[in-house]
């Protein structure tokens, strides 16, 4: 009977140990599931945040491109408006015609380009500061419209920029010298339009009439 009690006690102790082990396993498994769930939740949050960063970056670049394009259109429109205003002012005429600033810059650059080759040999000064006839290129350009003469266009000419005039063959325009004088260009008036015209494309008409008027006088003198 004593042996039966001992066996019963051993079985009871073993059962208690097994119960404690099972309970511990259940607790550990529960903790593992909680940790796995928390890990999955944080992983999903991180994924969403990374996707949000990519979306935000793409949206930022898209709005940046739109901003730059809007700026370009705005400044282009401002430039067009100012160019139109300068053309309207130049077409008003009057005793002192308005000459656009960029037109003067175009004459200065063209004069400098044409005179730079011989200027160094003549020792006429720096090519960046001095133009034809000793005039500084940064001085305002003056045009004497009272001394305009007629000229016939020898062949058609397409303007290289907005400072020049488009010319058609055999049309007659009015031209005068620029100040400072340019070897390659004259200041022309074509209806309401004014601008630079190349000398090589022009034939002066008033000079021919002056020669015809002077010829009989010279013959009579002989």
CA 77/CA 81 separation, integer angstroms: 6
Reported confidence tier of residue 25, pLDDT bands at 50, 70, 90 = confident
pLDDT at 173: 92
What is Dmax (Cα atoms) for the chain? 175
pLDDT at 120: 41
CA distances to 79, 81, 99, 104, 197 from 85, in Å: 10, 6, 12, 16, 22
Q: Is the pLDDT of residue 66 over 80?
A: yes
Residue 72 has pLDDT above 90, yes or no: yes
Half-sphere exposure of 158 (CA within 13 A, CB side): 0
Question: Minimal CA–CA distance to 167: which of 182, 149, 154?
Answer: 154
CA distance 63 to 207: 63
Judged against a pLDDT cut of 70, whether residue 190 lies above it is answered with yes
Helices and strands (H and E) in the chain: how many: 3, 7
DSSP state of 157: B
pTM above 0.75, yes or no: no
Neighbour tally for 201: CB within 10 Å: 16
Burial of 215 (0-12, 13-18, 19+ CB in 10 A): exposed
Q: Which position has the higher pLDDT, 131 or 156?
A: 156
- pLDDT tens for 89-133 read 766 765 555 555 555 555 555 555 555 544 444 444 434 433 443
Q: In what order do the strands lie in the sheet with 185-190?
A: 193-198, 185-190, 172-176, 149-153, 202-204
């Amino acid at each position: 009977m004593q042996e039966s009690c001992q066996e019963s006690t051993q079985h009871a102790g073993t059962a208690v140990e097994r119960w404690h082990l099972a309970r511990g396993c259940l607790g550990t498994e529960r903790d593992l599931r909680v940790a796995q769930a928390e890990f999955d939740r944080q992983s999903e949050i991180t994924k969403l945040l990374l996707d949000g960063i990519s979306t935000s970056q793409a949206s930022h670049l898209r709005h940046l491109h739109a901003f730059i394009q809007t700026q370009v259109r705005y400044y282009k429109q401002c430039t067009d408006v100012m160019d139109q205003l300068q053309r309207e002012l130049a077409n008003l005429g009057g005793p002192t015609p308005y000459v656009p600033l960029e037109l003067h810059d175009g004459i200065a650059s063209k004069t400098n380009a044409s005179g730079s080759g011989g200027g160094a040999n003549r020792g006429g000064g720096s090519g960046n500061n001095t133009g034809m006839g000793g005039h500084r290129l940064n001085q305002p350009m003056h045009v004497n419209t009272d001394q305009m003469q007629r000229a016939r266009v020898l062949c058609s000419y397409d303007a290289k920029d907005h400072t020049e005039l488009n010319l058609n063959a055999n049309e007659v325009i009015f031209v005068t010298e620029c100040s400072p004088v340019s070897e390659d260009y004259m200041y022309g008036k074509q209806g309401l339009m004014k601008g630079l015209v190349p000398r090589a494309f022009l034939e002066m008409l008033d000079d021919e009439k002056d020669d015809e008027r002077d010829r009989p006088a010279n013959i009579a003198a002989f």
